Structure 1
Amino acid sequence: MRTLKGPSLHLAQFSGDQPPFNSLDSIADWASGLGFKALQVPAWDARLFDVAQAAQSHGYCEDIKGRLAERGLQISELSTHMFGQLVAVHPAYDAMCDAFAPAALRGHPAERSAWAIEQVKLAARASRNLGLEDMGTFSGSLAWPYLFPFPQRPEGLIETAFEELARRWRPILDVCDEQGVNLCYEIHPAEDLHDGTSFERFHALVGEHERCRILFDPSHFVLQQLDYLGYLDLYHPFIRMFHVKDAEFYPSARQGVYGGYSGWADRAGRFRSLGDGQVDFKRIFSKLAQYDYAGWATLEWECCLKDQEDGAREGVAFINRHIIRVTEQVFDDFAGAPVDAGQIRRMLGVHTQEAGA
């Protein structure tokens, strides 16, 4: 067993146009001052990171690493979620997803997807240049609008959707393999990979690719009413990234999992700052220690009530409090005594008979 690393901070919900959130140096100063040890960098945010330059230039990557090291920080992983979302977009979401793409590609879904695929590949090369082994993403979604089957889904619809999803991602996974980088899909509602069954379907269709891995975020399990502790038991060999994010779910006579189209503050299920929700992080951190999770514990702040800077400050202490420094000895070794093979047999009442007896 090993002690997991943290706390890291996912920057996507904090970066902005105003200081200290508008440049990597200033946001690093702020995060370091709060006590974070690493940053999870959104590869699509040009205010913080140039993914194309990082893919091509070791010097650029060394410069970034050095600037962060001066502040007591490192990069935990790159996040490619917005690129991944554009790899596969159902037409119902074209207009909304266009905002994630360059202006020249908007209204051109095929070209947009091709561009996104290349961006994820660039991020894999950038990850290698940065010395990183894991990278986060979304799967995108072709089948999500057909989640609830009424009218009944035509035969072959889901199979075709997942075959196409796998066809688009397989070349990306191959590039990740060339670069020595695991691609960790965040299990997330609205993505085609949103639970264990959907991940298994996809994993099989990409040939059980060695680089196809999981980003575990328990908040999305609360909102779906999935067993996140059992999920760790089943899928821990695949889990290489971990978003520490809280959530709560209070169903009523008026709404449940689907939320009745309410805004976040009025939904039965909603994201909360760490410690304000229902996620059993003590058991999660215990299971991750038990299963020898090798990665980072990364705060992802999303809360419909609390200020983000308060959430970040409180989140550092919360994660530090939950990280288990794993023991290097067995607790009852003090009571042990050396026993040879003969003694073991006598303890069991198993006696060796004389030859020929």
Structure 2
Amino acid sequence: MKTIKGPALFLAQFMGDEAPFNSLDTICQWAADLGYKGIQIPTWESRLIDLEKAATSKTYANELKGKIASYGLEITELASHLQGQLVAVHPAYDSMFDNFAPKEVHGKPKARTEWAVQQVKWAAKASQNLGLKAHVSFSGALLWPFMYPWPQRPAGLVEEGFSELGKRWKPILDVFDEAGVDLGYELHPGEDLHDGISFEMFLDAVDQHPRAGINYDPSHFVLQHLDYLSFIDNYHERIFAFHVKDAEFNPTGKQGVYGGYQGWKERAGRFRSLGDGQVDFKGIFTRLSQYDYDSWAVLEWECCIKSPEQGAREGAPFIQQHIIEVTEKAFDDFAGAETDQAANRRILGLG
């Protein structure tokens, strides 16, 4: 067994226009002062990283890593959720997702997809230059408008959607393989990869690609009523990254899983700061440790009630308290004895 690394912090939800959230130096100092040991960097945030430069210049990558190390921090992973989303977009969402891309490709779905694919490929090379072993992203979605089957889905629609998704992602995964970097998809409502079954369908579509894995986030499973502990039993070999995020589901006589089109505070299912929701983190850290997960535990703060600053302050000690220093000995070793085959045979009545 191996001890999980942490605590670490995903910076995406904390960036802003005011100090200390408006530059790499100040946010690193802030995170380090709170007790974090690692940061996960959103690659769409130009104040934190020049993605193309990190992919094409080892010198720049080393300088970036050195600057972050000067604050006592490590880069856990790079993240490309916004770009990954744009690898596959159903036309119903074109105008809304245009905001994830540069203005020059707005209204041009093909050009936007090409831009996104290049971005994620750069993320693979940048991760390699930074000495990282994993990356996190979204899969995008062609099928999400047809998630709930009414009217009935035409025969073959789902298969065609996953076939196309596989065609788009397999060349990207090959680039990750060349870079020696695993790609963990965050299984998330709104993505075609949102649970275990859809992930398995994707694996089939990319020929069981060894670099295709999971960024494990239990909060999304709470809202789906999915057994997030058994999920680890089923897919631990494909879990390449871990978002520590809490959630709660409180259905009423008026609403359930779909939330009645309400805002986050009014939904039955909502994200919460660590310790304020219903996720069994003791169970999660136990299972991940049991299965030799040896990468980072990264706080992703999303809460509709508590401030991000308080969530971050409380998050570092919360994660630290849940990290298990795994044992290298059995508790009953003191009562053991040397292996003696003859004695074992006598005990079994075999002479």
Q: Deviation of residue 338 (structure 1)?
A: 1.8
Matches within 5 A, 1:145-294: 145-294=145-294
For residues 64 and 275 of structure 2, the distance between their equivalents in structure 1, rounded to whole angstroms, comes to 33
Q: Deviation of residue 330 (structure 1)?
A: 1.1
**Deviation digits for residues 273-308 of structure 1 (CA, Å, limit 9, x no counterpart):** 000000000000000110000210000000000000
Equivalent residue letter for 1:95: S
Equivalent residue letter for 2:228: Y
For residues 338 and 33 of structure 2, the distance between their equivalents in structure 1, rounded to whole angstroms, comes to 51
For residues 332 and 108 of structure 1, the distance between their equivalents in structure 2, rounded to whole angstroms, comes to 65
Assess if the C-alpha contact under 8 Å between 1:39 and 1:74 holds in 2: yes
Assess if the C-alpha contact under 8 Å between 1:28 and 1:71 holds in 2: yes
Equivalent residue letter for 1:166: G
Q: Point out 4+ residue stretches in structure 1 off by more than 6 angstroms.
A: none
For residues 339 and 129 of structure 1, the distance between their equivalents in structure 2, rounded to whole angstroms, comes to 48
Assess if the C-alpha contact under 8 Å between 1:240 and 1:294 holds in 2: no
Q: Deviation of residue 92 (structure 1)?
A: 1.0
For residues 105 and 251 of structure 1, the distance between their equivalents in structure 2, rounded to whole angstroms, comes to 41
Q: Deviation of residue 91 (structure 1)?
A: 0.8
User: Does 2:327 correspond to 1:350?
Assistant: no
SS at 1:141's partner residue? Answer: coil
SS at 1:304's partner residue? Answer: coil
| Aligned position for 1:9 | 9
Matches within 5 A, 1:17-96: 17-96=17-96
For residues 206 and 272 of structure 1, the distance between their equivalents in structure 2, rounded to whole angstroms, comes to 34
Q: Deviation of residue 40 (structure 1)?
A: 0.1
Equivalent residue letter for 1:167: K
| Aligned position for 2:136 | 136
Assess if the C-alpha contact under 8 Å between 1:38 and 1:74 holds in 2: yes
**Deviation digits for residues 76-108 of structure 1 (CA, Å, limit 9, x no counterpart):** 000010110000011111111000100010000
| Aligned position for 1:97 | 97
Equivalent residue letter for 1:208: Q
| Aligned position for 2:124 | 124
For residues 130 and 161 of structure 1, the distance between their equivalents in structure 2, rounded to whole angstroms, comes to 34
**Deviation digits for residues 239-286 of structure 1 (CA, Å, limit 9, x no counterpart):** 010000000000111000000000000000000000000000000000
Moved more, 175-184 or 332-341: 332-341
Q: Deviation of residue 339 (structure 1)?
A: 3.8
Q: Deviation of residue 31 (structure 1)?
A: 0.4
For residues 111 and 68 of structure 1, the distance between their equivalents in structure 2, rounded to whole angstroms, comes to 34
| Aligned position for 2:110 | 110
Instruction: Point out the structure with max Rg over C-alpha.
Output: 1
Q: Deviation of residue 65 (structure 1)?
A: 1.1
SS at 1:314's partner residue? Answer: helix
SS at 1:184's partner residue? Answer: strand
Equivalent residue letter for 1:81: H
Equivalent residue letter for 2:216: F
Matches within 5 A, 1:291-306: 291-306=291-306
For residues 57 and 20 of structure 1, the distance between their equivalents in structure 2, rounded to whole angstroms, comes to 27
Q: Deviation of residue 22 (structure 1)?
A: 1.2
For residues 277 and 21 of structure 1, the distance between their equivalents in structure 2, rounded to whole angstroms, comes to 26
For residues 125 and 199 of structure 1, the distance between their equivalents in structure 2, rounded to whole angstroms, comes to 24
Name the % identity: 61
| Aligned position for 1:354 | none
Q: Deviation of residue 64 (structure 1)?
A: 1.1
Q: Deviation of residue 11 (structure 1)?
A: 0.5
| Aligned position for 1:309 | 309
**Deviation digits for residues 1-20 of structure 1 (CA, Å, limit 9, x no counterpart):** 01000011001101122211
For residues 45 and 71 of structure 1, the distance between their equivalents in structure 2, rounded to whole angstroms, comes to 19
| Aligned position for 1:328 | 328
For residues 251 and 97 of structure 1, the distance between their equivalents in structure 2, rounded to whole angstroms, comes to 30
Q: Deviation of residue 191 (structure 1)?
A: 0.3
**Deviation digits for residues 206-226 of structure 1 (CA, Å, limit 9, x no counterpart):** 000010010000000001111
Q: Deviation of residue 132 (structure 1)?
A: 0.2
TM-score of the superposition, structure 1-length normalised? 0.98
Equivalent residue letter for 2:223: L
Assess if the C-alpha contact under 8 Å between 1:40 and 1:79 holds in 2: yes
Equivalent residue letter for 1:215: N
Equivalent residue letter for 1:139: S
Q: Deviation of residue 312 (structure 1)?
A: 0.3
Unaligned runs of 5+ in 1: 352-357
For residues 145 and 222 of structure 1, the distance between their equivalents in structure 2, rounded to whole angstroms, comes to 21
Equivalent residue letter for 1:99: N
| Aligned position for 1:355 | none
